[in-house]
Chain A
Amino acid sequence: MNKEDLPFKVRESTDINVNECYQCGKCTAGCPVAEHMDLRPSVIMRMLQSGDAIAEEEILRSLSIWLCLSCETCYSRCPMELDIPKIMDYLRVRSYKEGKVHRDARDIVTFHKAFLNTIESNGRLHEMGLIIDYKMHSGNLFQDVMLAPEMFSKGKLSVFPERIKDRKGLSQIFKGQTKTNKS
């Protein structure tokens, strides 16, 4: 494989050889969100095989990679046992780092980013903090407002975060991670 080739890049990061895929389509057939995807999993595999630079761009800018739920159904059924969720993770990380996230997936990335922000601050998820961060960055200010009172009354939501003690260790983990919420 040529070092510039997409199959090579994929193999370097994931140890998966996309040439093993024989395009049977079983991954797409079992994917719960296939109908909502612009590029179905088996098509993405074919595009990766082709090594085409245009295909690479298209994949990174697609909605599909963000719609993937990591339910692992494709991996469990693939006759060649290709770890497609791992490839999706690789594509997502690149899409995010290279600022190519699809417009309709921005809320998804915003959510994940907000999630990680509360962990960076507290070491554990602060659900209130997550929701506030998400709403501010996504602009969906009134989403789920009806849920909040019930969540509080059922004791499922707390105003204050739980913070771990070893914040030094935590900051070591987060050192060097991309900070901005680029869309």
Chain B
Amino acid sequence: MKIGFYPGCSLTGSSREYNESLLAVAKVAGIELSEISDWNCCGATAAHNLSKELSVSLPARNLALAELEEMDELVVPCAACYNRLVMTQHELSEKLEIKAQIEGKLHMTFKNNIRILNVLQFLEKHIVPRLDELVKSPFTYDVACYYGCLLVRPNQIMKDVRFEDPMTMDVIMQKLGAKAIDWPFKTECCGAGFSVSKTEIVGELSGKIVRNAVDRGAKAIIVACPMCHSNLDMRRPAIESYLKRKIDIPVLYITQAIALAMGLSPQQAGTQRHFVPVNLTVNR
């Protein structure tokens, strides 16, 4: 089975530690990820906010490329890219006029038969079955698993049974030796794309999330989305300004937690790239 890989712009830019840790984990588990050659940006929030055509044609090109490369599955670690690709696949399979339009514009055809996986689905399918043998240094901390929006919603399309109280990351972290706390902000929005244009909203929304995690005793917040990570980590000054207190709880990608638990070094996991220092040690 050929597993395709769509990193998206954030993984090759401001969230490179996510890319690094994901590839490191895949390597240890012996999984080969084939990056789509010449992929383009999915358009993210900007495209669907300003232009319906761009919001479909930009992701569509990537789907067509993946189909050309005969990929069975496509792993999309960025939650926003995942959302755009899944919505586009949905739109192309439901609306035949739009499919025809896009095919005409791109001079490419769509079979819409690729299984698109977000990072949690990828981990659950390909990494979790091997975790028991691969975990060398248990991650024994209380953690708050934060899912954000686009990994669980819209539930009409994601069709996840537990979209109000998801447990995928919680279960993975438990397998790594951590205690995943129960908390009510698992799926509350972090402020999404307002990092630059409305930073104070990010400060407020992410602030509420961080405060709740800390008040319930979490020592780290585990995320699976580069936008969430950026808002909770890079925008910590805005959070502290909203909460009027200093908080130093680190934010880790789920792949970084797995990498550390597998015995990889912090360098390999990329934790030195964070704005909020990650001072957790794993038992070696």
Instruction: Determine whether A and B are in direct contact in the complex, meaning some CB atoms lie less than 8 angstroms apart.
Output: yes
In the bound assembly, the distance between CA atoms of A174 and B52 in angstroms comes to: 12
Cβ-Cβ contact count across A and B, 8 Å cutoff: 153
Considering residues A85, A116, A131, A178, which has the most beta carbons from chain B within 10 angstroms of its beta carbon? A116
- Say yes or no: is B191 at the interface (Cβ < 8 Å to chain A): yes
Q: Is the CB of B197 within 8 A of A157?
A: no
The segment from A4-12, A45-53, A54-62, A146-154 that touches chain B is A146-154
Closest to B192 in A: A69
- Say yes or no: is A28 at the interface (Cβ < 8 Å to chain B): no
Q: Is the CB of B14 within 8 A of A85?
A: no
Q: Give the contacting residue for B46; candidates A69, A112, A147; CB below 8 A.
A: A112
Task: Give the total of A residues in contact with B, Cβ under 8 Å.
Answer: 60
In the bound assembly, the distance between CA atoms of A76 and B245 in angstroms comes to: 33
Chain B residues in 8 Å Cβ range of A139: none
Q: Is the CB of A76 within 8 A of B153?
A: yes
- Say yes or no: is A173 at the interface (Cβ < 8 Å to chain B): yes
Q: Is the CB of B41 within 8 A of A69?
A: no
- Say yes or no: is B272 at the interface (Cβ < 8 Å to chain A): yes
In the bound assembly, the distance between CA atoms of A179 and B13 in angstroms comes to: 26
Q: Is the CB of B61 within 8 A of A169?
A: yes
Q: Digitize A126-149: 1 where CB-to-B-CB distance is under 8 Å, 0 elsewhere.
A: 010001001000100001100100
Chain B residues in 8 Å Cβ range of A169: 61, 106-107
Q: Is the CB of B196 within 8 A of A143?
A: yes
Q: Is the CB of A150 within 8 A of B275?
A: yes
Q: How far is the CB of A38 from chain B (nearest CB, A)?
A: 14
Q: Is the CB of B106 within 8 A of A73?
A: no
Instruction: Please provide the 4 A-B residue pairs with the shortest distance between their CB atoms, ordered closest to farther.
Output: A125-B9, A72-B153, A112-B46, A71-B189
Q: List 18 A-B contacts (CB under 8 A).
A: A32-B205, A69-B191, A73-B187, A76-B155, A83-B154, A93-B52, A107-B197, A111-B196, A112-B49, A119-B41, A119-B58, A123-B38, A124-B39, A127-B13, A147-B234, A154-B274, A162-B12, A169-B107
A interface residues (Cβ-Cβ under 8 A, vs B): 13, 32-33, 36, 66-67, 69-73, 75-76, 81, 83, 85, 89-90, 92-93, 96, 107-113, 115-116, 119, 123-125, 127, 131, 134, 138, 143-144, 147, 150-151, 154-158, 162, 164-166, 169-170, 172-174, 176-178
